[in-house]
Amino acid sequence: MSHEENIAVWPATRLAQAIRATEISSRELLDVFLARIERLNPAINAVVTLDLDGARAAAVSADETTARGDALGPLHGLPTTIKDAIEVGGMRSTGGAVELRDHVPAADAPVIARLRAAGAIVVGKTNAPRWSGDLQTYNEIFGTTNNPWDTTRVPGGSSGGAAAAVACGLTSFEIGTDIAGSVRTPSHFCGVYGLKPSFGVVPQRGYLDHVGGGTTDADINVFGPIARSPGDLELLLDVVAGAPPENIAGWHLDLPAPRYDDLGSLRIAVWFDQPSCPLDTEYRATLQGTVDQLADAGAKIDDAHPPIDFDEQFGVFMAMLTSAVSVSFDAELREAFGGSHYQWLVNDERRAALRRTWAEWFQDHDVLVCPVTPTPAFPHNQEGDFLSRTTLVNGEELPYANNIKWAGVIGHAGLPSCVVPIGRTSAALPVGMQIVTPYLRDREAIRTAELVRDILGGFQPPPMALAP
């Protein structure tokens, strides 16, 4: 593999250092990614829109800034793609929906504006299911995105194009969205790192979940980074987190630093088994093997979880989720699933009680580790719909909705969760683990991911990303 090809799967932090040190120019790095998109993207269909002229002009400008010795932003000169559910000014942004096939926003979403202000160069958009509404990534406009580890399988959803692009080295990093695991599931299925930040710390204006959308924040939903190292996640969180533009004058976000720095001082609770949501036996064994290694390295392990009724809380999550996403339904379904405002208020009170339970429980634990989904990436299955599909787990057909149970209970409580790759199955499919920390302790989730990385090793690209 050439030096240039190797650069493409470096972490964003290392790429930024290389540009600062003039080891590579932004134009050269852009050419590396564009060449890889041309070569690798046809097999996975992750990148669906490109702005070559805009990207090249921005790369030239970035190199001129570097040559002048001007101050450089933390993402200076880094080319990136963005999930197609997020508005990028001057670039086709569809939300995966035919209704927005020709939608070109006039302005960037606040998150995109922050990336550009930090020096990033937006090259294009990555595929997402219609209105970000599936565990798979396909739509009528751009077709199906494949998992780069096995193209017969899904990359996850809804940020499937984003995670596949990161895994294959088609971009420096990505920004996805997550309302029911849409950053976490693709990170798990594609073998990369993903962060679901605490609810509310990253503005989600510019989120395309219906025609005319993007002007308000969706309940439960967050924007979060997908990358090739925990350090990348922290770098990107620092760039995108903060008050929405209209609140900046009076609000300031200051996420606390981690309260621990090594495994020896870490109290880790383990929650792998839930009768209503059984895990693939091989994935379960990999999760347990990870915990055993952490214990051997000095972590204090406790088989424990908050005193909550998993299925009851998942039911509340589903009620609030369907209310939140009902804006993307047609009129008949919206009436059936949207629910009343009174019922939402009742459920919001139940959620507030859940958050208090988590906060009290975390007084005795630093971290909870749990699965992402019941299985590794599953085969493409576009028959039927979310309610009628099933997933094969240990030879048994189980409800498709089981795939969002672990993500839903965590996201419903608004907690930060970092997905870290922990190994591969006998079929060479990557698997990940959720690292959950208290509300606003996002940096602790990332720090724990670093400690896990130090034990297990870091990101490994799929074979197709290393082929000559």
d(CA 69, CA 233): 27
DSSP 254: -
196 classed as catalytic: no
- Of all helices (H) and strands (E), which one includes residue 292? helix 281-296
Residues 6+ apart with CB under 8 A from 341: none
Contact of 297 with 331, CB cutoff 8 Å: no
d(CA 92, CA 186): 23
Contact of 117 with 16, CB cutoff 8 Å: no
Contact of 208 with 86, CB cutoff 8 Å: yes
Among candidate residues 25, 83, 198, 323, the one labeled active-site is: 83
d(CA 338, CA 320): 9
d(CA 284, CA 271): 11
Among candidate residues 26, 93, 132, 158, the one labeled active-site is: 158
125 classed as catalytic: no
Residue in the structure block whose two tokens are 């002007």: 215
Kindly state the tokens that stand for 368. Answer: 């909870």
Among candidate residues 25, 93, 172, 182, the one labeled active-site is: 182
3-state SS of 353-382 is: HHHHHHHHHCCCCCEEEECCCCCCCCECCC
Backbone angles phi, psi at 84, to 5 degrees: -70, 0
Q: How many CB atoms lie within 10 A of CB 389?
A: 19
d(CA 354, CA 409): 10
Backbone dihedral region for residue 458 (phi beyond 0: left; psi -120 to 50: alpha; all else: beta):
beta
The per-residue DSSP string of 317-343 comes to HHHHHHHHHGGGS-HHHHHHHS--HHH
DSSP 215: S
d(CA 450, CA 437): 14
d(CA 260, CA 447): 8
d(CA 13, CA 126): 21
Give the 3-state secondary structure of residue 65.
Answer: helix
Residues 6+ apart with CB under 8 A from 106: 89, 90
Angle CA 37–40–42, to nearest 5 = 90
d(CA 370, CA 436): 8
Q: Which residues are marked as active site?
A: 83, 158, 182
